[in-house]
Structure 1
Amino acid sequence: MTNEERNIREAAFLRVHIFYGLHDRNDGFDSMNISYFKEAEFRIVLERCKAMGIGLYGIEPWKNGQFFDVRTPEDDADCDNPGWYFTAFEEFAALEQDLDYAASYHVADHILDMDYFPANPHYNFLKNFLEKKRRP
């Protein structure tokens, strides 16, 4: 799998399995590959990540469209440990600042290699796009 294919597959995975049913607050002010959520929905994102074994490289809260702060694990090897990202999130939530939360995610290759995406139109579109790119 090329880097481009991996990035597309990871984006599809996150949309299908982590972000479904939530309101992404990114209305075009940032790259469409970055999703922003209010506190209550970001808590759901974290719970889903924990349940599926998805890691986070960083949490980046924003306030009124402006960068607020960032937290990362002490070591990239710890990115898959939900303890660090729940602790960081709770510290931000305790500030009661009405923040929007973005994150960078780590979806392991073995998860992306599995062929268990549901018949979701977004995933099917991306899958078809990748298959067409492979053909000469």
Structure 2
Amino acid sequence: MSRPQRHQPQRHALVLHAAADAARETPGVAFLRPGLGDLLRGAAARAPGGGPVADTRMAGVRAERQDHPERWHLRIHLAVRTGHRAIDVTRAVRARTETAVREALADGGEAPAVSVTVTVTDIT
């Protein structure tokens, strides 16, 4: 099994944004749940010259990439709206996120494998 690899921050940001947007737009999702690091971080990262760097962190979404063959694994933490079944929401989020990330990474070649783990942290 290949080990996780460092990769281009822009590609990582693309994956995070596609996954977060797909999850947020899924019916029944109240919000993505930030982790402790997201809560403590506060200020946005800055490049040495003072400009913004590629956003490689997204509250509620983590992504790891493996090479040979290219494969992405995403972990999404979210809150479900009251009145929605958590199992139905997690299935929908997983399917929408996998599709959105594959489409975002499609560059005319074969789309990479994408797997998604969804954890419900709250029902609001």
TM-score normalised by length of structure 1: 0.28
Q: Which protein is richer in helix relative to its size? A: 1
Q: Which protein is richer in strand relative to its size? A: 2
